[in-house]
Amino acid sequence: MNETGRTKLLAVTGNPILHSRSPLLFHALFERFALDAAYFRLAAGSAPEALRSFRELGLAGMNVTFPFKTEMAALMDSLDEAAMRIGGVNTVVKNGSKLKGYNTDHIGVSGSLRRRGIGVDGRKCVVLGAGGAGRAAVFSLVRENATVTLVNRSHQKAAEVASSLGCRAAPWSVLPALLWDADILVSALPPGIDVVKREWLPEGIVLMDANYVQSPLAEIARGSGHPYIGGEEWLLHQAIPAFNLFGGACPESEPLPDIFRSQRPPVIQKGNVSLIGFMGSGKSTIGRKLADALGFSYCDTDDLIERQAGRSVGEIFRIEGEESFRVREKAILADLRNRRNTVFTCGGGAVVDIQNQKNLRENSLVIWLHSAIETCLKRIETGSRPLLHEGKRDTEAWELFEKRRGIYARTADLVIRNEKSVDEAVRKINEEIDRTIHH
């Protein structure tokens, strides 16, 4: 437990975010260094929306990826030197009521090169892309006394970034000549952008890419024998200082966990989608529409229990007791392994049972639908929920959420904020699934 006696909640946010492997990495670090924390993917449409969820969920920290890094920097109460110079934040840490933004991306560059025994002092380096990752690469290489040239499709933007970080800028047209005289090439371009030709590269040039999927440089390296450092290593080396900012204590010399040999990030190939979350978060309404959108069948666990028992959930609680309800619920969730192409909506307390958590995670893409507690209570008809009593609804709801939020976080593959329209939440889930499948 952390100093408040609660599981520390952490996340990574971006758009899209379901493809991220950061949870695999951080959970490996939590286990190795005995940090009581849960880390999940937080979907959002903007940096301000991500921060609203950050505060509502009581997060202690958050990693930030494309395209929110620059926008997030403007929302912080303070910035470390790297974030200020680079103009982007990839790590947010809560300290009391204040948020501080850090940038550890530059350590991903220097750490990867150092681990490979590649010195950069005095070497000629070319960086492609003047976005957040490109700026971090320039910042890192300049600090290591390299001679750096930044190339970007907008030469004006490259010139502005180069001026602020102390390197040169050059137009795309001279890229072949620049590369022929370079020692290190760092690509910080979006996935799949192929602008470098194999014949432009001199023997021995080191190739480095911020991306760990769809990397044209990886293809070139496989066919030419050039030394190659992929986005996997960049991700690992920037994550260690972020982990330490979150309260960990991992030395730089620690062997890094090999998360890229493990399973792919969770997508629809698990066969089912399960919606979890607090009562009133909109699971049933969204679940039906999501099933229609995906062409899946639909199963509401509470509805199925009522049909099997021949009485309402409230009556089951009153006559048979909560334990009887949970036994019925557990039997339904155990059947997940036999289902395919089904959207399940689960009662708010389904994830409290450890075996239920296991069944959900192993057999479905688990989405935590989150709404502010005040919003949930407005959606709940008075007297309709057996765990909330008249005159105590607000207090009991907050107490229940505090007990369950860490469990939701440990179980979920993805968190979607449901404060707007149902159609917007369904659209966002569909978008995350589709973009991850094709990432």
Distances (CA, A) of 236 to 233, 256, 302: 5, 7, 42
Q: Which of 334, 336, 316, 315 is nearest to 325 (CA)?
A: 316
> Using one digit for the tens of pLDDT, what is the confidence trace for 226-250?
999 998 889 989 999 999 999 988 8
Indicate if the pLDDT at residue 386 is higher than 90.
no
pLDDT of residue 1: 40
Strand-pair partners of 96: none
Q: How confident is the model at residue 252 (pLDDT cuts 50, 70, 90)?
A: confident
> Using one digit for the tens of pLDDT, what is the confidence trace for 48-90?
999 999 999 999 999 999 899 999 999 999 999 999 999 999 9
pLDDT of residue 266: 60
- Residue listed under structure tokens 């639908």: 369
Of 69, 100, 270, 428, which one is the catalytic site residue? 69
pLDDT of residue 378: 84
Comparing 211 with 206, the larger pLDDT belongs to 206
Q: How confident is the model at residue 420 (pLDDT cuts 50, 70, 90)?
A: confident
Q: How confident is the model at residue 3 (pLDDT cuts 50, 70, 90)?
A: very low
pLDDT of residue 336: 87
Q: How confident is the model at residue 95 (pLDDT cuts 50, 70, 90)?
A: very high
> Using one digit for the tens of pLDDT, what is the confidence trace for 278-324?
988 999 999 999 999 999 999 999 999 999 999 998 899 999 998 99
Output the pTM of the full model.
Answer: 0.89
Q: Which of 57, 51, 56, 52 is nearest to 39 (CA)?
A: 57
* Token pair belonging to 159: 């010139």
Answer yes or no: 392 catalytic.
no
Indicate if the pLDDT at residue 261 is higher than 60.
no
Peptide bond into 265 cis (omega under 30): no
Q: How confident is the model at residue 5 (pLDDT cuts 50, 70, 90)?
A: very low
Q: Please, where are the H alpha helices in 194-311?
A: 216-224, 231-245, 283-294, 301-309
* Token pair belonging to 40: 């999940």
CA atoms 22, 23, 24, 29: torsion sign: positive
**Residue-range domains of the chain with CATH:** 8-103+235-261 (3.40.50.10860), 119-226 (3.40.50.720), 268-437 (3.40.50.300)
Q: Which of 307, 336, 334, 313 is nearest to 325 (CA)?
A: 313
pLDDT of residue 376: 81
